Amino acid sequence: TRKIPDAVWPTGYKTTFEVNFPDSLKPVDVFVDIRNYDDYPYANLYLFLDTEFPDGRKFRDTLECMLATPDGKWLGRKNGSVRESRFLIKRNVILPRKGIYHFTFEQGMREARLRGIPEIGLKISPAGAQTPSKR
CA 115-73-66 angle, to 5 degrees, is 60
pLDDT in tens, 56-75: 999 999 999 999 998 889 99
Query: Which one, of 63, 1, 66, lies nearest residue 40 by Cα?
Result: 66
Inter-residue contact 121 to 3 (CB < 8 Å):
no
**Is pTM, for the whole model, over 0.85?**
yes
Query: What local confidence, expressed as pLDDT, does residue 101 receive?
Result: 95
| Average of per-residue pLDDT across 80-102 | 92
Q: Which residue has the higher pLDDT, 13 or 81?
A: 13
Q: How many CA atoms lie within 13 A of 127 on its CB side?
A: 11
pLDDT in tens, 93-131: 988 889 999 999 999 998 999 999 999 999 999 988 766
Inter-residue contact 101 to 51 (CB < 8 Å):
yes
Give percent helix, percent strand, percent coil of the chain, each to the nearest 5: 0, 60, 40
d(C-alpha 81, C-alpha 37), whole Å: 7
| Average of per-residue pLDDT across 24-53 | 94
Query: What local confidence, expressed as pLDDT, does residue 76 receive?
Result: 92
- Alpha carbon 9 to its chain centroid, in Å, reads 14
Return the number of other C-beta atoms located less than 10 Å from residue 112's C-beta. 9
